[in-house]
Chains A and B, each alone.
Chain A
């Protein structure tokens, strides 16, 4: 069923990309750099738990690269690229210890990893340690946004596991 899985991955990539682009069009929620709802990660977290790490990596890579190309925001790739890869790594590892019923917690921790990596990259790019005062706020935002996207992914997963969705 490999072809079916790849096709589903393409579909997930398209959904993630759409969510990411639309979210980027909305005005920022806070005047704090690096804080976003990150709704596209509903798809990423879902894919990690549903299809596994290699497929999730594919979905993430497609979203990051095509997202930067579509919007022309190369800086988004610079800050969000390495952070996204680290967060995925965290989610894949957390999947081994956190059950599916509690995947919102894994999602929250992955979001904190993402935001922490992002502020460290920003510190390196700007060369200014002073911006690290934003780190506590980014951790809080990561917990809130990650829990929310994780909950949403959990609900989607529950629906699919129940058999109301197609099986892959």
Chain B
């Protein structure tokens, strides 16, 4: 294969992935604006952002890593974390058609709740 062919292949893959990303973040039915906070595979709590009062709570991983989650003006975000990279803080609030908030070192995930069963919990 020539250099040009490689460049074309990679360009096509990049375009396809960009399309897939837009499709994934815009698809799916959500039940209102309910955020689900996971530590590992365990659902720690759900927060209905339309009705929730402003609050701050800390999620502690079983390994001891801690993330301080903040709910303010109908938005949820990570205010403080003891992970090395702080990517969860840089993510900012959970957006309507955005990506979930992830802290890989502390195994924390904050995402939109998808089923009403999840919301009931």
Chain A interfacial positions (CB closer than 8 Å to B): 24, 28, 31-34, 71, 73, 75, 79, 98, 101-102, 104-105, 108, 122, 125-128, 130-134, 136-137, 139-140, 143, 147
Contact = CB atoms under 8 A, between A and B. Distances in A.
Interface residues of B, number: 35
Interface of B: 1, 3, 6, 10, 13-14, 17-18, 20-21, 24-25, 38, 40-42, 83-87, 90-92, 99-100, 102-105, 107-109, 111, 114
24 contacts: A28-B85, A31-B87, A31-B91, A32-B99, A33-B85, A34-B104, A75-B104, A102-B6, A104-B6, A122-B102, A126-B40, A126-B41, A127-B38, A127-B40, A127-B41, A128-B109, A130-B109, A130-B111, A131-B111, A133-B25, A134-B102, A136-B18, A137-B21, A139-B17
Contacts of A33: 85, 87, 102-104
Nearest to A98: B1
Contact of A137 (B13, B17, B87, B104): B17
Contact of A102 (B3, B18, B103, B107): B3
A143 B10 contact: yes
A66 to B, nearest CB: 17
The CB with the most chain B CB atoms within 10 A, among A24, A122, A126, is that of A126
Contact of A143 (B13, B91, B108): B13
B100 A130 contact: yes
Given A31-B92, A133-B100, A136-B17, A73 B40 contact: no
Nearest to B10: A143
A130 B17 CA distance: 17
